[in-house]
Structure 1
Amino acid sequence: MIGEEVLKNITVLYVEDESLLQEGTTETLELFDINVICAQNGEDGLSTYRLMQDKIDLVLTDIKMPKLNGIDMIKSIREINKEIPVIITTAHQETNFLMKSIELNINAYVLKPIDIYKLKDTLIKAMESKVLKDKLRKKNQELELAIQEIEKKQKLMEVQSRFAAMGEMIAMIAHQWRQPLASIGTVSFNLKNKLLSGKYDLETKEGRFEQTEFFNKKLDDIEGYVQNLTNTIDDFRNFFKSDKIITKTKIENTIKNSIKMINKDFQTNDININFDFKSKSDVNIYENEMAHVFINILKNAQEKLLEKQSNREIKIITEDIEDSVKIEIKDNGGGIDKENMSLIFEPYFSTKKEKNGTGIGLYMSKVIVENNHKGKLLVSNTTEGACFTIVLNTLV
């Protein structure tokens, strides 16, 4: 509850054409530690307000005054500041004055002769609204600053997540390039060897034809290997595009594109991925962002599965439920420890710090699904391992 301390050091613009009343009321208000600025009529009051509006906390005004009456003065002040508290003093109780004052959002009115204690209570109530609005405005400003700070941190995490993913992707590119580069090296060696060995008799038509056939085949092989390298780069380049473009697609297409980038790594580590695509609905998604989500979840499953000696398996299931598509990614890696279950989506939480885990992959996955796509990302344990569930709204 706000008390009379709210009146200390406030500044009141007091507009009254009766000098004796103005002097007496002003002296009393100053006893309450109120700063009073006086004006003799509505015109004078409006000019004063325009000059000192940043310092004036409340307007106390008579209604019937020369040059400009109180109602018209308040109307002009309200055009400048809709929220400043206004109290009217009047000896008149005509309905038309009261109706006009209600339309102008007057906080209160005091009848003449003024009871100074009633005026004091009225001032407190009028200022109470202003104080509460100021507090709310300050809280909103603090909240906006807090939100801006959170957004800055989130953007930083997005960058960190992207760099972490980029590091993993570069390792995968190196892994996927190793075999075609080795094959190109082998073909190149064979071509040189054939040239130096003099195996083909270039004096004969048959010898020249045989050499041409051999070289064409090997050059075709090199073209195939180079195309393989190019496709790999295109896949990863598309994955790292920063364009935020909404794509209408079946979710299985995004899942398959995501797995193309990590499949070689999974094959090397004997991890089988089984699909059960039952969803027939289209979704509107940021495809690259959702690819990040699938890869983050699958790479986390991989880390857990590598602790097993054999029978490493991931199952991906999609199905339509009401107005949504549900995606389940299940592994048989034994599940998530109970004490970690509530922390799994927390930023910078990682169970694999000794393996240079950043702890932001799953946090960013939740942000992407729930903030950017208005969906849901949940995790639970099954009898065999962990199950990540993603729910996305389907197209209307």
Structure 2
Amino acid sequence: MIDKQILNNINVLYAEDESIIQEGIKETLNLFGINVICAQNGQEGLELFKESNNKIDLILTDIKMPKLDGLGMIEKIREINRDIPIIITTAHQETSYLMQSIELNIDAYVLKPINIYKLEETLIKAIEPSILKKKLIEKNKKLEIEIAKNEEKQKIMEAQSRFAAMGEMISMIAHQWRQPLASIGTASFNLKYKLLSGKFDLTTKEGREEQAEFFTGKLDEIEFYVQNLTTTIDDFRNFYKTDKTIVKTTIDKSINSSLKILQKDLETNDIEIKLNLNSKNIINIYENEIIHVFINIIKNAQDKFLEKKIKNAVLEITTKDLDDGIEIEIYDNGGAFEKDNLDVIFEPYFSTKKEKNGTGIGLYMSKIIIEKNHNGKIAAKNINEGVSFNIILHSMI
């Protein structure tokens, strides 16, 4: 039960044709802190209600009044507002009045002569659901605002995560392009050098054939390296597609796609990859998002290897089928997390990397992708002087 303060500053439309009763009740209601708008009959009450612009909180009305009686007024008001609390005051107890008022969804009755204390209790009971509903609507509006803010915050984090990953990807593209570009440059130089130095005797058939063979070989090399560059761009472009299309695939295929993107970087840093890929189940996933998760975890392990200068760095990836999905285990021997950190590594903006080397959103976004977008599970634990990430995915319908 809400206390009596609920009546403070509510607006009551009071329709009563007997002036003495009206003045007495109005004075009493004012003592309760209620603002009273008085009407001498149902027609006046209806007009006041229409003019109030929904600022009336409760209606208190007599039944028998001139021009338009209380029930007639209530019937018209119910066409405008079906929920406003209405209390009837009457000295009449005829069954016909009671049945009519029930059909008009009356909240309470107060018999004349009016008991002031009973009236106060009746007002509180009648207005309570309306007040609670208003408070609930206000809370829901605040909640909707907070939800919108959180959704916007998550979009920002997703963008930050993608930009951070993009920076790493650009670095990897540059690394993977370095060798093919160098080879193209060497082949181009050799072609130019041979052409300008007159190494081939073009006056003889043998010289022309030798030149053609040399040029064809070098051009084939250049074509091969250009194709290598194109493939690299396609791999990264596919990863950064923003469309959220569900793909039917095996998780092993997605893991191999992730490793293909990271391959040169892992090889350069002498990180051994051990694969135990045994999953055959076909599952429905947002493949680019899942690849993003794998890249996040693998890149975190790589950064840890480099930061701690781990020798014989090993990254082991294991997959297996479950009755209703698949399980992925990604283990690295780059050292365990501190116990306190293990509980918060998936929190936004938490990072174990040295200052400015980590955004702290990679693992947070990985958790969002796995648990929210795929209804799966992701967890981490210390094991064998390293860390193991466990991912469970179910086939989404």
Specify if TM > 0.5. Answer: yes
Q: What's the counterpart of residue 225 of structure 2?
A: 225
Give the drift of 1:17.
3.5
- Counterpart AA for 2:163: F
Q: What's the counterpart of residue 36 of structure 1?
A: 36
Please give the residue correspondences for 1:1-396 in structure 2 after superposition, counting only pairs within 5 Å: 1-95=1-95, 97-98=97-98, 100-306=100-306, 307-354=308-355, 356-396=357-397
2:285–2:395 contact (8 Å) kept in structure 1: no
Q: SS at the partner of 1:267?
A: helix
Q: Does the C-alpha gap of structure 1 residues 112 and 154 become closer, same or farther in structure 2, counting only changes over 3 Å?
A: same
Give the drift of 1:226.
0.5
Q: Does the C-alpha gap of structure 1 residues 196 and 322 become closer, same or farther in structure 2, counting only changes over 3 Å?
A: same
Alpha-carbon distance between aligned partners in 2 of 1:327 and 1:26, rounded to the nearest angstrom: 74
Give the drift of 1:261.
1.1
- Counterpart AA for 1:246: I
Q: Which moved more, 1:62-71 or 1:124-133?
A: 62-71
Q: Which moved more, 1:15-24 or 1:98-107?
A: 98-107
Alpha-carbon distance between aligned partners in 2 of 1:76 and 1:389, rounded to the nearest angstrom: 65
Q: Which moved more, 1:14-23 or 1:343-352?
A: 14-23
Give the drift of 1:67.
4.7
Q: Does the C-alpha gap of structure 1 residues 148 and 381 become closer, same or farther in structure 2, counting only changes over 3 Å?
A: same
Q: SS at the partner of 1:353?
A: coil
2:172–2:262 contact (8 Å) kept in structure 1: yes
Structure 2: runs of 5 or more not aligned: none
Give the drift of 1:184.
0.5
1:46–1:73 contact (8 Å) kept in structure 2: yes
Question: Percentage identity across aligned positions?
Answer: 65
Q: SS at the partner of 1:378?
A: strand
Q: Does the C-alpha gap of structure 1 residues 326 and 66 become closer, same or farther in structure 2, counting only changes over 3 Å?
A: farther
Q: Does the C-alpha gap of structure 1 residues 386 and 69 become closer, same or farther in structure 2, counting only changes over 3 Å?
A: farther
Alpha-carbon distance between aligned partners in 2 of 1:64 and 1:318, rounded to the nearest angstrom: 81
Q: Does the C-alpha gap of structure 1 residues 365 and 97 become closer, same or farther in structure 2, counting only changes over 3 Å?
A: farther
Alpha-carbon distance between aligned partners in 1 of 2:276 and 2:369, rounded to the nearest angstrom: 24
- Counterpart AA for 1:377: I
Q: SS at the partner of 2:84?
A: coil
1:282–1:395 contact (8 Å) kept in structure 2: no
Q: Does the C-alpha gap of structure 1 residues 46 and 274 become closer, same or farther in structure 2, counting only changes over 3 Å?
A: farther
Q: Which moved more, 1:195-204 or 1:169-178?
A: 195-204
Q: TM-score, normalised by structure 2?
A: 0.92
- Counterpart AA for 2:347: E
Alpha-carbon distance between aligned partners in 2 of 1:348 and 1:31, rounded to the nearest angstrom: 56
Alpha-carbon distance between aligned partners in 2 of 1:146 and 1:386, rounded to the nearest angstrom: 35
Alpha-carbon distance between aligned partners in 2 of 1:347 and 1:102, rounded to the nearest angstrom: 56
Structure 1: runs of 5 or more not aligned: none
Alpha-carbon distance between aligned partners in 1 of 2:174 and 2:234, rounded to the nearest angstrom: 14
Give the drift of 1:68.
4.2
Number of residue pairs the alignment of both structures matches: 396
Q: Deviations over 1:177-213 (max 9, x none)?
A: 0000010011111112222332222111122112111
Alpha-carbon distance between aligned partners in 2 of 1:105 and 1:391, rounded to the nearest angstrom: 54
Q: Deviations over 1:316-372 (max 9, x none)?
A: 222332323222212222221112111101111111133521111111111222222
2:285–2:396 contact (8 Å) kept in structure 1: no
Q: Does the C-alpha gap of structure 1 residues 97 and 221 become closer, same or farther in structure 2, counting only changes over 3 Å?
A: farther
Alpha-carbon distance between aligned partners in 2 of 1:99 and 1:179, rounded to the nearest angstrom: 92
Alpha-carbon distance between aligned partners in 2 of 1:291 and 1:69, rounded to the nearest angstrom: 73
Alpha-carbon distance between aligned partners in 1 of 2:12 and 2:43, rounded to the nearest angstrom: 17
Alpha-carbon distance between aligned partners in 1 of 2:184 and 2:376, rounded to the nearest angstrom: 46
Q: Does the C-alpha gap of structure 1 residues 231 and 61 become closer, same or farther in structure 2, counting only changes over 3 Å?
A: same
Alpha-carbon distance between aligned partners in 1 of 2:351 and 2:212, rounded to the nearest angstrom: 58
Q: Does the C-alpha gap of structure 1 residues 44 and 154 become closer, same or farther in structure 2, counting only changes over 3 Å?
A: same
Q: SS at the partner of 2:133?
A: helix
Alpha-carbon distance between aligned partners in 2 of 1:259 and 1:134, rounded to the nearest angstrom: 56
What RMSD, in angstroms, separates the aligned Cα atoms of the two structures? 2.2
Alpha-carbon distance between aligned partners in 2 of 1:158 and 1:278, rounded to the nearest angstrom: 31
Give the drift of 1:95.
5.0
